[in-house]
Amino acid sequence: MFWSRRWPAIVAVLLTLLAVAAPGAAGERGRPGCSGPALRRVPTERKVIALTFNAAWNEDGVSRVLAVLRGERVPAMFFLTGDFADRHPEAARALAARHLVGSHSYSHPRFPGLSFPEERREAVLSARAIRRATGRTPVAFRFPYGEFTERNVRDVNALGYPVVEWVDDTAGWRGPDGGVTVDMVVRRAERAFSPGAIIQMHVGSTDARHSVLDADALPRIITAARAHGYGFADLGRLVRRCRVRG
Least confident window among 43-47, 225-229, 240-244: 240-244
pLDDT of 34 reads 65
> Is residue 187 very low, low, confident or very high in pLDDT (cuts 50, 70, 90)?
very high
Q: How far, CA to CA in Å, does 200 sit from each of 52, 95, 143, 172, 197?
A: 5, 16, 12, 10, 10
Q: Is the pLDDT of residue 144 over 50?
A: yes
| Domain 2-239: CATH class, spelled out | alpha beta
User: Which residue, among 191, 171, 240, 192, has the nearest Cα to 49 in the 3D structure?
Assistant: 192
Question: What are the pLDDT digits (tens) for 91-136?
Answer: 999 999 999 999 999 999 999 999 999 999 999 999 999 999 999 9
Least confident window among 30-44, 98-112, 139-153: 30-44
Q: Which residue has the higher pLDDT, 159 or 2?
A: 159
- Prediction pTM value: 0.85
Q: Is the pLDDT of residue 238 over 70?
A: yes
Q: What is the mean pLDDT of residues 72-98?
A: 98
Q: Contact 242/162 with Cβ under 8 angstroms?
A: yes
pLDDT of 244 reads 55
pLDDT of 203 reads 98
